[in-house]
Amino acid sequence: MSDLPQEESRLLIGRVVKTQGIKGEIRIQGPSGETSLISPGVVLYLKNKEGRLQPLTVTSLRYQKGIIILAFQEVRGLKEAENLVGSKVYIAKDILPSLPPDEFYWFQLFGLKVFTEKGTYLGIIRGIMPTGSNDVLVVRRDREEYLIPAIAEVVKQVDLKEKIMVICPMAGLLPKDDL
């Protein structure tokens, strides 16, 4: 088991919510935008309720209403698939392709502190919503929530080491007292 990736080298991409059909497929729902990295041949790591990590090789996948339906080489039927329900699903970070300097994986942005160029603290990135044209960052501070478009005109700096994002809000994006 020592060849299994440690927690810091895995990316949580979802959770097994139920089985699909009688052939051993499972349904995965998740918050991560990195589900596009799943393809046949990719090894995913499922962590069950007892904390046991199990590597499984994807043989097929399809999407249905925001849910990913997967089949694994090692899962041969409904009974085996039922044992996976509730498991967390991870992918090894080291298989993620490198991105250009101005692009980031969603998981890298979660938890960043967001400031305006004037130094006003807006909150922490708690979510990301895909919208088709661009992603929208969900930034929360106490009971305030801001929806920040993840576009070059707004996002001016991302410092992953310092866990900071600096934005230049467009007119009307923030209440006047938060500018």
CATH code, domain carrying 142: 2.30.30.240
Cut 0.85: pTM above it: no
Q: What is the CATH number of the domain that holds 25?
A: 2.40.30.60
Residue 14 and residue 77 in one domain: yes
Let me know if 70 is exposed, middle or buried by CB neighbors in 10 A (0-12, 13-18, 19+). buried
Whether 125 and 147 have beta carbons less than 8 Å apart is answered as: no
Residues 6+ apart with CB under 8 A from 63: 69
Q: How many domains does the chain have?
A: 2
Write the CA distances from 144 to 126, 155, 158, 168, integer angstroms.
Answer: 12, 19, 22, 18
Which of 94, 128, 154 represents a domain boundary (last residue)? 94
Residue type, 12: L
Tell me what percent of the chain is helix, strand and coil, each rounded to the nearest 5.
15, 45, 40
Residues 6+ apart with CB under 8 A from 54: 45, 46, 47, 48, 87
For residue 136, tell me if it sits in a domain.
Answer: yes
For residue 132, what are the domain limits? 106-170
179 located within any domain: no
Q: pLDDT in tens for each of the 179 residues of the chain?
A: 446 667 678 888 889 999 999 999 999 987 655 566 788 999 999 999 898 999 999 999 998 877 889 999 999 999 999 999 999 999 998 888 888 988 888 888 999 999 999 999 999 999 888 887 888 999 999 999 999 999 999 999 999 999 999 999 999 888 876 65
71 and 21 in a single domain? The answer is yes
Q: For residues 39 and 63, is the Cβ–Cβ distance under 8 A?
A: no
Same domain, 27 and 88: yes
